[in-house]
Structure 1
């Protein structure tokens, strides 16, 4: 590893390596040695920039949560266009076909990581909670435009959508759900709320 490489570049390289391992091999394969090997750098590089492996993982999760911001903005901007079910299906598919499902498994499997994340994210399951917030923001915008019934609670709909989609994706052992499965759950959950 060349000296003088900016911290941001090292962090990105390590985070991207961890994501590749998560997607390819799962949470159990994620170790500091696996990450540095995948990143092509010495093991000490990770420990030079992070207090320990759980600190690295916590920052990885927060970095991946921050990457959801553009997706949330795009979804809010889609309010009033296309169909509500289509927009939600696309957003849920994009969320759960990313590294999100692997990160949730990682958080579930590591007590130290959960404890670290509680320092910054005191409630909910990281990634899923932010996904629900993204969906609720969109549904609120659609309700304000009159495309969702005024008596429907966007938060309840969002948590129901996120929870159901999570179960759908978590039960596939890394494979995509069957074609139309996400759209079917979206239509079932929000169908009678759409005007």
Structure 2
């Protein structure tokens, strides 16, 4: 007798189930059984679509990395509008307030998964590397537009912003940090090189 429910898009529904487990219970609780139970399907469904659980997790990470890259396009398009500090605060709050921050914890927790991802991401931590590249490109564009000092070292500023935002959001069991905390960190890091006009500041 069949168990579970039919999945219209099995891969995406399994990914979403994994995210819910990860956000609710943490990386230690993320098992194939926990994912299929959360998705309401038989355990065999996962193994029909992925060779093993680490292959499933690797695809989950790659899929979420692609979302960060899409977010990068949106941020770059925002260069020259709003405020630099406001744009950075928004993107960092969204990035680490979402499942992306939890996936970083998963990557740190699972050595085998990091090894699997080395096949396509030979250096750095996936998602954090893409996020740093996103901020570097954005800050470079703002520098070109004159909203950042010409001498601003965007390749140092970007990972500094990522590291600070990650630390602010690192306590998974506590209440989510307020945007004001992220903004305060962003202001401390880039405030000295921002050259926004009086009308733009805020």
Bucket of the pairwise TM-score, normalised by the shorter protein: over 0.9
Q: 1:42 to 1:172 in 2, by over 3 A?
A: closer
C-alpha RMSD of matched pairs (Å): 1.5
| Cα distance, 1:172 vs structure 2 | 5.5
Q: Aligned residue for 1:72?
A: 72
Counterpart mapping for 1:1-195 below 5 A: 9-171=9-171, 173-195=173-195
Structure 2 CA distance for aligned equivalents of residues 93 and 2 of structure 1: 35
Q: Which runs of 5+ in 1 are unaligned?
A: none
Under a length normalisation based on structure 1, what TM-score does the superposition of the two structures give? 0.93
Query: How far is the alpha carbon of 1:153 from its aligned partner?
Result: 1.7
1:119-150 superposed Cα distances (whole Å, 9 cap, x missing partner): 11011111111111111111011011010111
Cα deviation, 1:70-93, whole Å, max 9, x if unaligned, reads 311111111111110000000000
Distance 2:95 2:174 in 1: 14
Which structure 2 residue ranges, 5 or more long, are not aligned? 196-202
Offset at residue 66 of structure 1 (A):
0.6
TM-score, reference length from structure 2: 0.90
CA offset digits 1:46-95 (Å, max 9, x no partner): 11111111111011000011112231111111111111000000000000
- Structure 1 runs of 4+ off > 2 angstroms? 171-175
After superposition, the Cα gap between the structure-2 partners of 1:172 and 1:20, relative to the gap in structure 1 and judged at 3 Å, is closer
Deviation at 1:2, TM superposition (A): 7.2
Q: What is the number of residues matched between the two proteins? A: 192
